Amino acid sequence: MLLFIPTLLGLTVIVFVLIHIGGTNKLLAMYLSPRLTGAARQQIIAELDQKFHFNDPIYIQYFYWLAQIFQGNWGITNTPIFSGPVTQAIELFFPNTLMLTIFAAILIWLISIPLGVHTAVNRDKPSDNVIRVGSLTFYAMPWYLIGIILIIIFAVWLKILPINGTVNPSLVADLSWYHNGISYPTHILLIDALIHGNLVVAGNAFLHLIMPSVTLALGVMAALVRLMRGTMLETLDQDFVNFARAKGVPEKVVINLHAKNNALLPVITNFGYLVAGLLGGVVVIEDVFSYPGIGMWLTDAMINNDMGGIMGGTLLFGIILVVTSLALDLIYAKIDPRIRY
Amino acid sequence: MESDQLKSNLAPIVKVENFHLHYYTRRGVYKALNGVNLEIRKGEVLGIAGESGCGKSTLGRAIMGLIPRNAAVVDGRILINGRDYLKPLKDYYKNTKKFKPSKNADVLKKVNNEMSKIRGQEISMVFQEPMTTLNPLLQVGYQIAEVLLYHSPGLLASRRLSRSRAKKEDTKALVKILNENGPNEKFREYLKEKNIMGLEDQILAIWRRKDLHDLKKEQMIEKLCCEPINSFAKNYLETIEKENKLPNFSKIPIFGRIVKRELIKEGYKKASEFLGLLGIPNSDKMVYMYPHELSGGQRQRIVIATAMINSPQLVILDEPTSALDVTIQAQILELIKELKESINSSYMFISHDLSVLAEVSDRIAIMYAGQVVEVGNKDAIFDQPKHPYTQMLMEAIPTIEAHELKGIKGEVPDMRNPPKGCMFRDRCPYAMPICAEKRPDLIKVGEDHYVSCFLYEGGKS
Ligand SMILES: Nc1ncnc2c1ncn2[C@@H]1O[C@H](COP(=O)(O)OP(=O)(O)OP(=O)(O)O)[C@@H](O)[C@H]1O
Ligand code: SF4
Ligand SMILES: [Mg+2]
């Protein structure tokens, strides 16, 4: 249970090693604005040396660096869309991404679990084959291709969904809680609009959320459908499922209570990997839909070789994964009485 | 007169006639059952013995209708109280050019739907492996209560309602009647008169306990009253009590849950009473446990209780003791024997341990390669085995540890390509030319004693 603390520390070690593969300069690059020159630059370097002890052995440096990370000093980022402290970039961009990912994760869960159950129960029938081939097709397609197909269908042909950004700019032009593409206080436009009671903006923000999250969901859903189908097939063969039938429990209850809940256990364990897949996808999808989230900022950071952004993103994604798996462990323990702490 | 009664007692609950079942696998078609003929009569224990892989479990499960999707019902029928539930599966097989598990599964769904009405009610089954028979995510009380919920919701409703209808003076009066006369007609009349019939088994479960002092029992019985009930739930429970049918819970959104919860809660109570009657200590706590908190022996008791709680006409026990260690085995056998005394069911007891069968059975059927090769009264089978295979089994008993059916020379035929004639021919010391040509039928060789072997055809015995 408390295993997540060493995991987090291990993560910081890896990030630290990554930074240092290129020597001290990389660490400096994370904390030093390239725009500084001359004496000012020298002075900042001296200050950084005070904090990071560049001349100490590397394993000592690690602890100084870790102390800075814990204090929220994650370096600075310098990209066309944002320059300033990494933590501030995260604070501004991450909420949108979180919204997108959670929305996609919910979609994935609500769609793939029933599909997995359905395909297992109707194994080898036409609907099983169609769903399996369909979901594998999406799985094999790169994200941007799915995105573009959806854009062509829903935005170009049917003209029912917007493709770009988080909101129609004319709607938010003179709102007091929206400046420079960022809404306040949560920075998630949909929620902020609801907080301020502006249903028109909220509805519009929701429409903007649909295509990116559907794209994100379609790209990874196949993995979950497949997994659920597999564990369900296995569970349907178990003695306790047959025993439930032998008791005269109606088939519907056998499937939805006895088989499904047991088949869900391995799926929950593996949902973490799926979230990892989602985070990878977010970077691409935000780019395709010009959605102002962490992915857009990180793409920019990579293009501009911005060390602060790259390492900050790595650390953030790592933390998210650890926290997700912790949450999944808790959920698992809630469902499975065999797990106790 | 006497013989008439005997006959009706012996009327079969299950009749298996020329039943054939094949498993379709990637490696070929396994002909698991090749013309089984068998009947299970009222009130008897029929033992089934045979080597591993001869189709004992397949037969037991087929009677229950627990047939996997890759299994084809090729021929014959299984009548349960005269009804052939597997007919649609046979019809599918007969009318199709190429057997497809997915199509078979469609038919199976219908069979499952039909059979779920009698499973757990008229027939039920105990599996071999108690560690995997119970659902790990559900409390054992729930798993027992489920049987009652789907088959006798009326009983659960009436139990609950009777506690709300009964007044303090009613339970006091009932205790008095019990103390004077025991649970006789007067006791039942009183219950009926006050419309509290649901109290009957609750009171008797306490009354019959041996671990309690009389005063304590009286107190407990007197407490079975005056339990208030939500008036909305009451209306539904009254309908359920009358019709003994579950309402469509999805049609009564929020209150459906309340009603269902009341029924399940009552099911836990009844489950705990029943476990108590089986002599299981701490049954009131045990129903709230999960399977992993119980030992193998305890789990098997739960499984047996689940199978028996509705007093089914037939219980199929598929090697119920094989996975347990010896002392626990003895206890479980004892439990089964006690149940046999108290509940008037029939049993099909599958085992490869002849000494166990000798202890519990009335009749014994010997299976070989998917057929019943000999069947008769226990004594006839043990004292005058007719079939060469049975004779070899009997000779093997004393020399083999734990009496397992292993020490017979030779191989079972490959069930993908069974021989045309007698299945036992390759291992039979008496094989004759005719044995290679056709299969012997089951013929009568003694009082209620049948064997399928050419040695006995033509009236020899
Ligand atoms: N689902 C299945 N698919 C394919 N073959 C099966 C299946 N179930 C059983 N069989 C095969 O059918 C044959 C009979 O199996 P069954 O389990 O009925 O034997 P058994 O007499 O109960 O043996 P045991 O004493 O080992 O329990 C075996 O050869 C087995 O491999
Ligand atoms: S029929 Fe023939 S081969 Fe079969 S058991 Fe009898 S004698 Fe042996
Ligand atoms: Mg078996």
Task: Give me the residue spans of the domains in chain B.
Answer: 3-122+353-446, 140-283
Query: A126 — contact with chain B (CB < 8 Å)?
Result: no
The overall average pLDDT reported for chain B is 90
What DSSP designation does B93 have? H
Task: Tell me which of A130, A236, A247, A335 to substitute to probe the interface with B (most B C-beta atoms closer than 10 Å).
Answer: A247
Burial class (CB in 10 A: 0-12, 13-18, 19+), B344: exposed
Q: How many helices (H) and strands (E) does chain B have?
A: 19, 12
Displacement of CA B154 from its chain's centroid (Å): 23
Task: Measure A70 CA to ligand 3 centroid, in angstroms.
Answer: 61
Establish whether residue B431 lines the binding site of ligand 2, counting it when its CB lies within 6 angstroms of any ligand atom: yes
Mean pLDDT of A305-327: 89
Residues in the ligand 1 pocket, defined by CB under 6 Å:
B 23, 25, 30, 32, 50, 52-58, 68, 70, 352, 415
Task: Output the pTM of the full model.
Answer: 0.89
What DSSP designation does B436 have? G
Neighboring chain A residues of B68 at a CB cutoff of 8 Å: 237
Per-residue pLDDT at B400 exceeds 50: no
Chain A nearest CA to B118, separation (Å)? 7
More confident residue, A165 or B405: A165
Question: What does the alpha-carbon distance between residue B102 and residue B90 come to, in Å, rounded to a whole number?
Answer: 15
Q: Which of B101, B116, B118 sits opposite A251 (nearest CB)?
A: B116
CATH topology of domain A93-305: MetI-like fold (1.10.3720)
Amino acid identity, residue B161? L
Residue pLDDT, tens place only, B63-100: 999 999 999 999 999 999 999 999 999 999 999 999 99
In this structure, are residues B58 and B4 in contact, taking their beta carbons and an 8 Å threshold?
no
Q: Do A123 and B147 touch (CB under 8 A)?
A: no
| pLDDT band at A19; cut points 50, 70, 90 | confident
The ipTM assigned to this model is 0.92
Chain B nearest CA to A216, separation (Å)? 33
Residue pLDDT, tens place only, A249-293: 999 999 999 999 999 999 998 888 788 788 888 988 998 898 989
Question: Which of A269, A273, A265, A268 shows the shortest CA–CA distance to A321?
Answer: A273
Q: Do A251 and B112 touch (CB under 8 A)?
A: yes
Per-residue pLDDT at A130 exceeds 60: yes
Establish whether residue B303 lines the binding site of ligand 2, counting it when its CB lies within 6 angstroms of any ligand atom: no
CATH of region B3-122+353-446: 3.40.50.300
In this structure, are residues A262 and B135 in contact, taking their beta carbons and an 8 Å threshold?
yes
What integer pLDDT is reported at residue A247 of this predicted model?
A: 96
Percent of chain A past pLDDT 90, that is, above it, reads 44
What integer pLDDT is reported at residue A94 of this predicted model?
A: 92
Question: What does the alpha-carbon distance between residue A308 and residue A292 come to, in Å, rounded to a whole number?
Answer: 19
| pLDDT band at A146; cut points 50, 70, 90 | very high
Mutate to test the pocket of ligand 2, among B373, B434, B438, B453 (most ligand atoms within 8 A of CB): B453
Residue pLDDT, tens place only, B1-42: 344 444 445 679 999 999 999 999 999 999 999 999 999 999
Task: Tell me which of B107, B110, B146, B348 to substitute to probe the interface with A (most A C-beta atoms closer than 10 Å).
Answer: B146
In this structure, are residues A145 and A153 in contact, taking their beta carbons and an 8 Å threshold?
no
Q: Do B135 and A244 touch (CB under 8 A)?
A: yes
Residue pLDDT, tens place only, B330-377: 998 998 888 888 888 999 999 988 989 999 999 999 999 999 999 999
Neighboring chain B residues of A259 at a CB cutoff of 8 Å: none
Which secondary-structure segment (H or E) carries A83?
A: strand A83-85
A72 by DSSP, 3-state: which?
A: coil
Neighboring chain B residues of A240 at a CB cutoff of 8 Å: 132-136
Neighboring chain B residues of A246 at a CB cutoff of 8 Å: 64, 66, 119-120, 124-125, 127, 307
Contacts of B230 (CB under 8 A, 6+ apart): B258
Q: What is the dihedral of CA A317, A319, A321, A323, to 10 degrees?
A: -150
Q: Do A123 and B102 touch (CB under 8 A)?
A: yes
More confident residue, B193 or B411: B193
Per-residue pLDDT at B408 exceeds 70: no
In sequence order, what are the beta bridge partners of B15?
Answer: B39, B79
- B440-454 burial, b at 16+ Cβ within 10 Å, e below that, comes to bebbebeeebbbbbb
What integer pLDDT is reported at residue B10 of this predicted model?
A: 63
Is the preceding peptide bond at A142 cis, omega within 30 degrees of 0? no
Q: Which of B109, B137, B306 sits opposite A247 (nearest CB)?
A: B306
Nearest CA in chain B to A333: B137
How many residues can be counted in chain B? 461
What integer pLDDT is reported at residue B286 of this predicted model?
A: 96
Q: Do A240 and B135 touch (CB under 8 A)?
A: yes
Mutate to test the pocket of ligand 2, among B455, B456, B460 (most ligand atoms within 8 A of CB): B455
What integer pLDDT is reported at residue A111 of this predicted model?
A: 94
Query: A337 — contact with chain B (CB < 8 Å)?
Result: yes
Neighboring chain B residues of A331 at a CB cutoff of 8 Å: none
What integer pLDDT is reported at residue A272 of this predicted model?
A: 80
Task: Measure B322 CA to ligand 1 centroid, in angstroms.
Answer: 16
What DSSP designation does B223 have? T
Task: Measure B417 CA to ligand 2 centroid, in angstroms.
Answer: 18
In this structure, are residues B20 and B93 in contact, taking their beta carbons and an 8 Å threshold?
no
* Residues within 8 A of A (CB atoms), B 329-368 only: none
Closest ligand to Cα B441: 2
What integer pLDDT is reported at residue B9 of this predicted model?
A: 53
Question: Which of B279, B277, B275 shows the shortest CA–CA distance to B208?
Answer: B277
Q: Which two tokens stand for residue B53?
A: 């892989």
Question: What does the alpha-carbon distance between residue B317 and residue B339 come to, in Å, rounded to a whole number?
Answer: 13
Chain B nearest CA to A260, separation (Å)? 11
Task: Measure B431 CA to ligand 2 centroid, in angstroms.
Answer: 5
| pLDDT band at B397; cut points 50, 70, 90 | low
Mean pLDDT of A204-216: 93
Query: B114 — contact with chain A (CB < 8 Å)?
Result: no
Neighboring chain A residues of B299 at a CB cutoff of 8 Å: none
Nearest CA in chain A to B308: A247
Residue pLDDT, tens place only, A65-101: 999 999 988 988 988 888 899 999 999 999 999 999 9
What integer pLDDT is reported at residue B407 of this predicted model?
A: 57
Query: B134 — contact with chain A (CB < 8 Å)?
Result: yes
* Residues within 8 A of B (CB atoms), A 5-64 only: none
Task: Measure B318 CA to ligand 2 centroid, in angstroms.
Answer: 28
Query: A129 — contact with chain B (CB < 8 Å)?
Result: no
Mean pLDDT of A227-252: 96
Question: What does the alpha-carbon distance between residue B32 and residue B22 come to, in Å, rounded to a whole number?
Answer: 5
In this structure, are residues B32 and B73 in contact, taking their beta carbons and an 8 Å threshold?
no
